[in-house]
Amino acid sequence: MAYEETKDLLEAVKRLKIPVEQGILNMVHPCPEKDIIGAECPICVNRVVYEEKMLYVFKKLFPVDSLCIIHRQEEEIIGIKVLQSLGKKLYGDALN
């Protein structure tokens, strides 16, 4: 969901008095490290720069520490172990 749609959704649920405690920004590209292939790729670098700008804008919509960032996964999430890892990213130790 894009920024404007997310903003509209948050305004609508606020009018309905539905609490929103967390936002999830999914499929964010991790910042490439210098020794990783793609770090010098202009398309990859531009994508990360764009996403960093959007992250700044999204952070204004959500209270402090309530925006969870899930990086783009190399493979589809299949199986209990991978799903548990994603759950820990979303909810931390609350799952234990």
**Below-70 pLDDT ranges, the chain:** 1, 32-40, 64, 93-96
Identify the helix (H) or strand (E) that includes residue 76.
none
Rounded to whole angstroms, how far apart are CA atoms 37 and 39? 6
d(CA 10, CA 16) in angstroms, rounded, equals: 10
Distance between CA atoms of residues 82 and 88, nearest Å: 10
Predicted pLDDT at 18: 93
CB 55 within 8 A of CB 28: yes
In one letter, which amino acid is 80?
I
Note the pLDDT of residue 80.
92
Q: What is the pLDDT of residue 11?
A: 92
Whether the full predicted model's pTM is greater than 0.75, yes or no, is no
What pLDDT digit, counting tens, does each position of 57-73 carry?
Answer: 888 887 767 788 888 88
What pLDDT does residue 92 have? 77
Res 1: pLDDT = 55
